Amino acid sequence: MNLKEEMKCLVCKGTGELTTMESVYNGSDSHLQAPVGSVACDNCGGMGLEPDEQIVLERIVENLSTEDEEKLQIYFMEDNGELGINKDNCEDLFEGWLENMDLEEIIKILA
């Protein structure tokens, strides 16, 4: 998984800007939309990064590689060993923990 890809703005796809379009006459009866410039993306303020941390977290969790999931599971087990984790409750506890993770913390673990 590529963290940089997961953090890109949904609207501008990480470019930070949107192409402005204008109707142009192409010589026939129809009008076409043609790019005439660009403006800063309103969603990310021109930064190219998704401002909604929850969306970024959901993308990261949905696209975890096996290796990244193992890293998180090891961290979870070390961080929560005193909870009495066993084979029967481990998966549910891990999923709940993962849903409540802070974006900065998950990035540190996976980096």
pTM of the predicted model over 0.75: no
Residue 51 or 28, more confident: 51
* Confidence bin at 52 (pLDDT 50/70/90): very high
Give CA 49 to chain center in angstroms: 9
> Average pLDDT over the chain, rounded to whole?
84
Q: State which H helix or E strand residue 20 sits in.
A: strand 17-25
Half-sphere exposure (Cβ direction) of 63: Cα atoms closer than 13 Å: 14
pLDDT at residue 86, rounded to an integer: 58
Q: Which residues of 38-72 are buried (b: 16+ CB within 10 A; e: fewer)?
A: eeebebbeeebebeeeeebbebbbeebeeebeebb
Tally of CB atoms within 10 A around 12: 23
Query: What tens digit of pLDDT does each residue of 4-30 get?
Result: 899 999 999 999 999 887 777 766 666
Residue with tokens 């070390």: 78
What is the rounded CA–CA span in Å between residue 56 and residue 51? 8
The percent of residues in the chain predicted with pLDDT above 70, rounded, is 86
Residue 76 pLDDT greater than 70, yes or no: yes
